[in-house]
């Protein structure tokens, strides 16, 4: 890895320094850069970065060109790249897309230096927005958040994003509980699609979390810009990530069990229908045989006699009652 010049941040007419500054440019092509500063530490947030934002970063910082390509790539995996003068971190977090009604991976790219943290989410991340807004609007919170350096600010950003997964997991757990109730309340046909959607949601969540575990482990082992005593905080993030993975493993097993149970319930319902139809066919078969015999175009006992007719009807009734009784005693009906 070649040594790069230390990233630098110079003044610009588009940003304000010396306090909680945030600029949202009116020009469509102007950089969408928001900055909060306290005690020499800057948090620069660029949501949904565009080419104009890349130009702004290249003007103020000397980051590796491959990092910029990773920022604008849609297929980047979670990772932690360590450079002589900064860290480049790529993490993925689950975000619910209301337009399609499912979970998608929201990518958060971050540059961390000795006196700055740059966050570049490729779409709106509620934890990042909420934390940034609190830092911008509340001086006491900004002082608390920035006073321990860039490492602690990085921890808070990642920790809030990881913790945001737990409410989503609780919703998935509640959904699985409702599906279980629906299955045993006789709504098996209606929940087939719901079980499939729940399984797809769990699969998407697992696809986001699985590669992230290694990146969070690398972040825990990284000592750059992390004051002594803060490493235990990153260990807590790793523990939270492992809890999320364990919950997803459990949900995966539960969803597969619910699917199997629902298929068994549907199979039992079909079997009950087939059993009734089969029993009805078997009961009717002897009656059909008797009617066929006495309906032949040959001379039979009691032909053209009302007594014979009633004898045949009586015989059929006796057969019917006897077979129904026998089937019920065996539990076939």
Q: How confident is the model at residue 287 (pLDDT cuts 50, 70, 90)?
A: confident
What pLDDT, on the 0 to 100 scale, is given for residue 13?
A: 33
What pLDDT, on the 0 to 100 scale, is given for residue 121?
A: 92
DSSP 117-165: EEEEESS--HHHHHHHHHHHH-HHHHHHHHTT-HHHHHHHHHHHHHHTH
| Number of other residues whose CB lies within 10 A of the CB of residue 5 | 9
10-31 burial: b if 16+ Cβ within 10 Å, else e: eeeeebeeeebebbeeeeeeeb
Tokens of 259: 């699917």
Task: Render pLDDT for 289-318 as a digit per residue (tens, 0 to 9).
Answer: 777 777 776 666 766 677 777 777 888 888
Do residues 233 and 149 lie in contact, with contact meaning Cβ atoms separated by under 8 Å? no
What pLDDT, on the 0 to 100 scale, is given for residue 299?
A: 67
Could you tell me which CATH number the domain at 1-163 has?
3.30.460.20
120: closest CA among 23, 75, 54, 65?
Answer: 54
Query: Residue written as tokens 């719901």?
Result: 194
For the chain, the structural domain boundaries read: 1-163, 275-330
What pLDDT, on the 0 to 100 scale, is given for residue 160?
A: 93
Q: How confident is the model at residue 244 (pLDDT cuts 50, 70, 90)?
A: very high
């Amino acid at each position: 890895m070649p040594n790069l010049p230390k990233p630098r941040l110079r003044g610009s007419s588009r940003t304000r320094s010396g306090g909680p500054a945030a600029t949202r440019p009116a020009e469509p092509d102007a950089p969408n850069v928001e900055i909060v500063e306290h005690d020499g530490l800057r948090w620069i947030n660029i949501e949904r970065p565009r080419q104009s934002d890349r130009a702004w970063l290249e003007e103020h910082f000397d980051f590796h060109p491959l990092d910029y390509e990773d920022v604008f790539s849609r297929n980047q995996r979670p990772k932690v790249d360590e450079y002589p003068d900064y860290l480049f971190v790529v993490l993925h977090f689950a975000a619910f897309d209301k337009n399609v009604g499912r979970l998608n991976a929201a990518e958060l790219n971050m540059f961390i230096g000795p006196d700055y943290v740059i966050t570049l989410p490729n779409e709106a991340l509620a934890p990042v927005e909420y934390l940034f807004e609190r830092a911008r609007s509340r001086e006491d919170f900004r002082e608390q958040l920035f006073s321990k350096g860039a490492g602690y600010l990085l921890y808070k950003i990642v920790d809030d994003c990881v913790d945001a997964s737990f409410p989503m997991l609780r919703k998935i757990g509640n959904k699985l509980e409702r599906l279980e109730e629906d299955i045993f309340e006789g709504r098996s046909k209606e929940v087939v699609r719901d079980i499939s959607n729940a399984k797809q949601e769990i699969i998407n969540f697992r696809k986001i979390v699985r590669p992230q575990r290694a990146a969070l482990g690398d972040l825990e082992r990284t000592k750059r810009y992390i004051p002594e005593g803060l490493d235990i905080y990153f260990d807590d993030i790793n523990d939270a990530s492992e809890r999320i993975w364990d919950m997803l493993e459990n949900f995966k097993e539960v969803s597969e069990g619910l699917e199997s149970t629902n298929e068994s319930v549907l199979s039992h319902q079909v079997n009950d229908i087939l059993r009734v139809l089969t029993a009805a066919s078997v009961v009717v078969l002897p009656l059909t045989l008797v009617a066929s015999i006495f309906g032949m175009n040959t001379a039979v006992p009691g032909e053209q006699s009302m007594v014979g007719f009633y004898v045949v009807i009586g015989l059929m009734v006796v057969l019917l009652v006897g077979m129904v009784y026998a089937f019920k005693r065996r539990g076939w009906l």
